[in-house]
Chains A and B, each alone.
Chain A
Amino acid sequence: MWAFVFKRTLIALSVAFTISVLCFSLLQLSGDLALSIGGPEATAEQVEQIRTDYGLDRPVIQQFTTWLWGAVQLDFGRSYYYQSDVMDLVVERLPVTMTLGVMSLAIALGVSIPLGVVAALKRGSWIDRMAMAIAVTGQAMPNFWFGLTLIIVFAVKLQWFPAAGSDSWQGFVLPAIALGYYATPAMMRLTRSGMLEVLEADYIRTARAKGLRTGTVIFKHALRNAVIPVVALAAVELGFMLGGSVVIETVFSLRGLGQLAWNAISRNDYPVVQAIVLIIALFYIVLTLLADILNAILDPRLRAR
């Protein structure tokens, strides 16, 4: 088990390194940074000044090692636009994005697992067909458009929730729905197909032969095994949600990591962009690692590996 965690951590670190190399080389490929920081009105001298100020006149390798050494110590340099430490900006914005991500995941799990279980138990019934219809339509809705529609209906027309802002939990409801629903269809289908498969398993027949009550058979013996792949998927989906927060936080004006990323992108504030891409990638890697560990806890057969 520990060897497994160690190996995965090594892979995670090298993936993070690769991504930082990618980020950095993209930055170099994008052209003269000093020019884009200075903007179109900057004079040649100002550009030259920026070049020395940001250390852009040094060799690329040196720039990279400096940046990487900083990144290892969680120092991602200074933002061009905000004129403050990137890490301070990230730390300030992170709670909003994490709240959004966790709430979205909770909504997605809360809808998809019960629906998937009922759909599998009542296979072919109207509830099964409704669940499948939700799955198919859910995957077809662009989330920014769904978010705007939620604002029009629930914030403007019905005025149940605020359209923007992260001051109270109500502010998170609509964005969490808009972000969470996209993960629901996949998790619901996986729950449903997992339940269908498990309900046919020999050990379910054994459980019934023991005279266990239907509830015990379904929840203790079937769901426990059917839900294992869903856990792995949920972790991956949470990673995707953090990435998708760019869109939803922009639509709902939430002051989170995603909005920061978008602002940084549109202002050519590359140190911030680089840092956020790397942080979200790290989150994703950690989440998949956690998913594997959780799987091993849920499925004793995997513990031996």
Chain B
Amino acid sequence: MSNLSSAERSTAPASPLLSVKQLRVDLPVAKGTLHAVRGIDFHVERGEMLCLVGESGCGKSMTSLALMGLLPRKAQINADCLNFDGVDLLTVSERERSNLRGSRMAMIFQEPMTALNPAYTLGNQLCEALRRHQRVSRKAAHDRAVYLLERVGISAATERMRQYPHQLSGGLRQRVMIAMALMCEPDLIIADEPTTALDVTIQAQILHLLRDLQQEFGTAIIFITHDLGVVARIADRVAVMYAGEVIETASAQALFHAPSHPYTQGLLRCIPTPGKTLPGSRLQAIPGVVPSLIDKVEGCAFCNRCDQADQRCHTTPPLQTVAGGHLSRCHFAHQLANPATINAQEVTL
């Protein structure tokens, strides 16, 4: 099967695996329309780990569901471009869409405790994805499932195949979910806060596992999280989301060293650093709340919480290129990109 898909892949060598331009997701709610995702742009290269960062409610989960085609039925989606390896996801039929899901793009969800069907064995749930998408024998599917369970670090995999989800801990279940996502060797895995519901030690294990698997299988991963600590450990590139927009995209290196949006800077300041944050001192927080996305948002969505905002911020800022591959949606992007400013701020911490 990998031979076949690599042949397909070679037809478009230069284009990214996934490119998203001006994606919008609107949800009708009781009081109007909720603009959950408001025209975001990003792309994912083959085999890279893109982190989508933002606080809850910023539209990152909606984005992932939009990519998978799993949005609630009443949600409205439109975009200038939503292209997955040459397939236009906006016009693709539901049938072809479901052929892609699970086989070329897979998803790992936030809540491992409820993401597995309690009524079926792990083996049943692992194999059914593969047998849905590929003509393989029961035996072959079983063997692949056992192989992947072992690969994601589950011991006694053959016995585990006969177990039910409730017999496993949360960390183990998330490993099973990862194995399940890998069953058909997808090109893209969307991991929606896969470690949020887990203990810190388990979190670290799962992160390492994902990183290793990504390098081993060459799978591209969109890793969705609100935790910049996680981002720092695994990301190749980062897209920061705020109020339904991507406000900054950069390589992980650039983002942490030269954040060019006040929101990103604020987020970085919120992380307590051992040795730098004094014991007993107040942890930093960004004052204010996310604006309501139910009505049309005018100007920069962050301006009501931004300490640098002025008159200009009442107009929507354009996406500005700070450096190669580093974009920021702020009027002051170029000033903020100056590392001197950051150092000064670090000193104040």
> So, do A and B actually touch in the complex, CB under 8 Å?
yes
Which residues of A are interface residues toward B (Cβ below 8 A)?
201-203, 205-213, 216, 220-221, 224-225, 298-301, 304
Q: How far is the CA of A225 from the CA of B120 in the complex (A)?
A: 10
With beta carbons under 8 angstroms apart, the residue of B70, B99, B117, B164 that contacts A209 is B70
Cross-chain contact A206 with B115 (CB below 8 angstroms): yes
Cross-chain contact B101 with A207 (CB below 8 angstroms): no
Beyond A209-B68, A210-B102, 18 extra complex contacts between A and B, CB < 8 Å: A202-B109, A203-B114, A203-B118, A206-B115, A206-B177, A208-B70, A208-B98, A209-B70, A209-B106, A211-B102, A211-B103, A211-B132, A212-B129, A299-B118, A300-B166, A301-B118, A301-B166, A304-B166
3 A-B pairs with least C-beta separation: A211-B102, A211-B101, A210-B102
Question: How many residues of B are counted as interface, with CB atoms below 8 angstroms from the partner's CB atoms?
Answer: 27
Q: How far is the CA of A304 from the CA of B118 in the complex (A)?
A: 13
Q: Taking the complex as formed, is B111 at the interface, i.e. its CB lies under 8 A from any CB of chain A?
A: yes
How near does chain B come to A26, taking the closest CB pair, in angstroms? 45
With beta carbons under 8 angstroms apart, the residue of A201, A211, A221 that contacts B98 is A211
Q: How far is the CA of A191 from the CA of B150 in the complex (A)?
A: 39
How near does chain A come to B243, taking the closest CB pair, in angstroms? 25
Q: How far is the CA of A225 from the CA of B117 in the complex (A)?
A: 9
24 contacts between A and B (CB under 8 A): A202-B109, A202-B114, A203-B118, A206-B107, A206-B115, A206-B177, A209-B102, A209-B106, A209-B109, A210-B101, A210-B102, A210-B132, A210-B180, A211-B101, A211-B102, A212-B102, A221-B117, A224-B120, A225-B117, A225-B118, A299-B118, A300-B119, A301-B118, A301-B166
Cross-chain contact B129 with A211 (CB below 8 angstroms): yes
Q: How far is the CA of A208 from the CA of B102 in the complex (A)?
A: 8
- Residue from the set B100, B111, B114, B115 with the largest chain A CB neighbour count within 10 Å: B115
Q: Taking the complex as formed, is B290 at the interface, i.e. its CB lies under 8 A from any CB of chain A?
A: no
Cross-chain contact A210 with B129 (CB below 8 angstroms): yes
Q: How far is the CA of A298 from the CA of B166 in the complex (A)?
A: 14
Q: How far is the CA of A202 from the CA of B101 in the complex (A)?
A: 16
Q: Taking the complex as formed, is B128 at the interface, i.e. its CB lies under 8 A from any CB of chain A?
A: yes
Cross-chain contact B133 with A211 (CB below 8 angstroms): yes
Cross-chain contact B115 with A298 (CB below 8 angstroms): no
Question: A202 contacts which chain B residues (CB < 8 A)?
Answer: 109, 111, 114-115
Q: How far is the CA of A211 from the CA of B69 in the complex (A)?
A: 10
Cross-chain contact B117 with A206 (CB below 8 angstroms): yes
Cross-chain contact B117 with A203 (CB below 8 angstroms): yes
